[in-house]
């Protein structure tokens, strides 16, 4: 290369132009790569989701109406989204698969295996293998195997898996009924918050109207200015109460949205099913339904059965076990159904094994003692579950009866407070009542309305608590 550059016949201007063009191309390439890098840096990293704030739809688009949720819809949505309930369903599915596996251990298993073994032959050209344990220099195995293992422990494992599935099923029902109480509390708290907000709006409008009435009466010289001040104070207080009621309504809506929607939707409506409270069935009927349908009691009974099978399985480690195998196929020096001499290579064999435990340094009997201790604990827990069921049945039933009776009284109080406010306002306009009486009547109506809404929530939650023990009635 140096010789060519020093050659007088070489064109130096061409070399310089080529070098300049190369440098320009490299700079252009670097500029393009830098632009792509900057563009990639401005984009979000893969795997990172950026949630944008929901924008209001354009004026020419039709906004989707919010979903109208009933209590049954709310319970269904919460069941699909609640992690504790789904964990209980997952545990039930796992317990069912354990039962399938334990049942498979009781039944004969069929397998098929193929194997080719080549062994180094002995010297001097003989056809004998160098390893004594091998049957020939070339050995081909293609066999089907039927295997059956029988022991007291395998039967106990199946019974234990069946009882464990019953426990998981009862616990999944417990989770469902507990979720129903949670949904009932959140659902009806939101309904009550909506009603309290409406009550606060009405009280605010009533206070504003009364402020106008007192102002007109002051201008006519019928009342003192102190009445106007008291009416204005009442109006300011109702404005603050209205804001607090709106805050409580929004908070209860968010609490319900967490339970219902996977994507956390805030724009929804609920069906107001507040109405006359339904009568409770007689206690004897509730007690019978609780004894028959209570999942806590079923879980305790299934746990006792599971502990009993644990004892049986522990004794299985002490008693004999039997294993039976049957093979059919090829085990020969040629991979063929017949030998070169036209003899059949297909054959069968069987083996039976009796295993008798002799000495384990007390480990097997220690397992039996452990299982008996667990069984005693299960008996104690079953007795406690029975006592707790009877106590909770009586307690929840009394709570439901009290809530229902008080709800009727609260409804009457709302009607009386509304009539009292109307009459007191008329008496004030005629000069027969004071401003304090009007303010007191307004506050009494607001308190009675809010207490009635709280009573509705209390009765619905009490009813859900009873149904956690008895099921629906």
CA 426 to chain centre: 56
In a domain, 5, yes or no: no
Cα torsion angle, 381, 178, 469, 189, sign: positive
pTM for the structure as a whole: 0.74
User: At 2, is the pLDDT very low, low, confident or very high (cuts 50, 70, 90)?
Assistant: very low
- pLDDT tens string 191-234: 999 999 999 999 999 999 999 999 998 898 888 899 999 999 99
> DSSP letters along 130-166, please?
SSTTSS-SEEEEEEEEEEEEE-HHHHHHHHHHHHHHH
> DSSP letters along 206-246, please?
HHHHHHHHHHHHHHTTSS-HHHHHHHHHHHHHHHHHHHHHH
pLDDT above 70 (res 57): no
Q: State residue 126's pLDDT score.
A: 66
Cα 205 to Cα 12, 209, 227, 230: the distances in Å are 97, 6, 18, 16
Q: Supply the range of the domain harboring residue 287.
A: 74-107+152-319+365-470
Contact 156, 305 (CB under 8 A): no
Question: Both 146 and 158 in a single domain?
Answer: no
Q: Select the more confidently predicted residue: 301 or 52.
A: 301
| Residue where one domain finishes, among candidates 356, 376, 407 | 356
Q: State residue 124's pLDDT score.
A: 67
- How many percent of the chain have pLDDT more than 90? 64
DSSP symbol at 47: T
d(CA 435, CA 215): 12
Contact 245, 197 (CB under 8 A): yes
Q: State residue 303's pLDDT score.
A: 95
How buried is residue 190: exposed, middle or buried, by Cβ count under 10 Å (0-12/13-18/19+)?
buried
Q: State residue 4's pLDDT score.
A: 37
pLDDT above 90 (res 137): no
Question: Both 269 and 342 in a single domain?
Answer: no
Q: State residue 284's pLDDT score.
A: 92
pLDDT above 90 (res 162): yes
- pLDDT tens string 332-367: 888 888 888 888 888 899 999 999 999 889 898 999
Question: Both 189 and 82 in a single domain?
Answer: yes
In a domain, 12, yes or no: no
Overall average pLDDT of the 164-171 stretch = 95
In a domain, 20, yes or no: no
- pLDDT tens string 262-282: 888 888 999 998 888 888 999
DSSP symbol at 333: S
Question: Both 224 and 274 in a single domain?
Answer: yes
Q: Domain holding 197: CATH number?
A: 1.20.1600.10
d(CA 78, CA 462): 19
pLDDT above 70 (res 138): yes
pLDDT above 90 (res 132): no
d(CA 409, CA 451): 10
pLDDT above 80 (res 390): yes
Q: State residue 407's pLDDT score.
A: 92
Question: Both 203 and 325 in a single domain?
Answer: no
Question: Both 270 and 335 in a single domain?
Answer: no
Overall average pLDDT of the 123-137 stretch = 71
Q: State residue 44's pLDDT score.
A: 34
- pLDDT tens string 391-439: 999 999 999 999 999 999 999 999 999 999 999 999 998 888 899 999 9
Q: Select the more confidently predicted residue: 178 or 49.
A: 178
- Strands 269-270 vs 68-69: parallel, antiparallel or unpaired: parallel
Q: Select the more confidently predicted residue: 72 or 139.
A: 72
Overall average pLDDT of the 11-20 stretch = 44
pLDDT above 90 (res 388): yes
Question: Both 238 and 253 in a single domain?
Answer: yes
Question: Both 199 and 262 in a single domain?
Answer: yes
Question: Both 195 and 329 in a single domain?
Answer: no
Paired residues of 269 in beta bridges: 68
Question: Both 281 and 371 in a single domain?
Answer: yes
pLDDT above 60 (res 169): yes
Question: Both 206 and 326 in a single domain?
Answer: no
Question: Both 338 and 242 in a single domain?
Answer: no
Instruction: Look over the chain and give the mean of its residue pLDDT values, rounded to a whole number.
Output: 84
Residue that has been written with the tokens 């502990």 in this structure:
307
- pLDDT tens string 426-441: 999 888 889 999 999 9
DSSP symbol at 359: -
Q: Domain holding 349: CATH number?
A: 2.20.200
d(CA 306, CA 117): 47
In a domain, 13, yes or no: no
Overall average pLDDT of the 90-112 stretch = 93
Q: How many structural domains is the chain composed of?
A: 2
Q: State residue 208's pLDDT score.
A: 93
Q: State residue 19's pLDDT score.
A: 45
- pLDDT tens string 240-259: 999 999 999 999 999 999 99
In a domain, 87, yes or no: yes
């Amino acid at each position: 290369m140096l010789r060519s550059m020093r050659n007088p016949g070489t064109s130096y201007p061409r070399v310089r132009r080529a070098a300049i063009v190369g440098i320009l191309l490299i700079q252009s390439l670097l500029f393009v790569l830098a632009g792509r890098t900057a563009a990639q840096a401005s984009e979000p990293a893969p795997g990172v989701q950026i949630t944008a704030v929901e924008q209001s739809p354009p004026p020419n688009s039709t906004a989707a109406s919010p979903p109208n949720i009933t209590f049954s819809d709310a319970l269904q949505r919460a069941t699909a989204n609640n992690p504790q309930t789904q964990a209980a369903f997952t545990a039930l599915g796992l317990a069912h698969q354990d039962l399938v596996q334990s049942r498979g251990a009781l039944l004969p298993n069929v397998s098929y295996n193929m194997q080719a073994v080549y062994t180094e032959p002995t010297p001097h050209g003989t056809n004998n293998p160098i390893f004594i344990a091998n049957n020939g220099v070339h050995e081909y195995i293609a066999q089907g195997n039927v295997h059956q293992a029988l022991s007291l422990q395998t039967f106990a494992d199946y019974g234990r898996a069946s009882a464990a599935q019953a426990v998981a099923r009862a616990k999944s029902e417990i989770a469902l009924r507990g979720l129903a109480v949670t949904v009932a509390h959140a659902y009806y708290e939101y309904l009550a918050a909506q009603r309290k907000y409406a009550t606060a709006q009405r009280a605010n409008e009533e206070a504003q109207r009364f402020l106008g009435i007192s102002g007109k009466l002051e201008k006519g010289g019928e009342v003192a200015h102190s009445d106007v001040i008291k009416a204005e104070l009442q109006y300011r207080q109702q404005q603050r109460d209205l804001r607090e009621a709106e805050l409580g309504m929004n908070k209860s809506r968010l609490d319900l949205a967490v339970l219902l929607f996977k994507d956390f939707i805030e724009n929804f409506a609920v069906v107001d099913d507040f109405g006359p409270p339904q009568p409770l069935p007689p206690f004897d009927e509730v007690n019978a339904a609780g004894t028959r349908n209570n999942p806590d009691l079923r879980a305790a009974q299934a746990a006792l059965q599971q502990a009993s099978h644990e004892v049986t399985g522990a004794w299985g480690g002490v008693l004999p076990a039997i294993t039976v195998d049957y093979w059919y196929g090829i085990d020969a020096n040629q991979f063929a159904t017949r030998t070169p001499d036209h003899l059949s290579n297909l054959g069968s064999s069987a083996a039976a094994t009796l295993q008798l435990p002799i000495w384990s340094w007390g480990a097997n009997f220690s397992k039996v003692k452990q299982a008996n201790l667990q069984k005693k604990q299960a008996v104690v827990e079953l007795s406690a579950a029975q006592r707790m069921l009877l106590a909770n049945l009586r307690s929840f039933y009394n709570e439901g009866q009290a809530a229902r009776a008080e709800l009727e009284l609260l409804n009457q109080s709302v009607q009386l407070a509304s009539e009292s406010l109307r009459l007191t306002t008329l008496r004030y306009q005629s000069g027969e009542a004071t401003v304090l009486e009007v303010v007191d009547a307004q506050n009494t109506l607001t308190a009675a309305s809010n207490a009635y809404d709280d009573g509705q929530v209390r009765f619905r939650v009490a009813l859900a608590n009873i149904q956690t023990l008895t099921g629906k009635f």
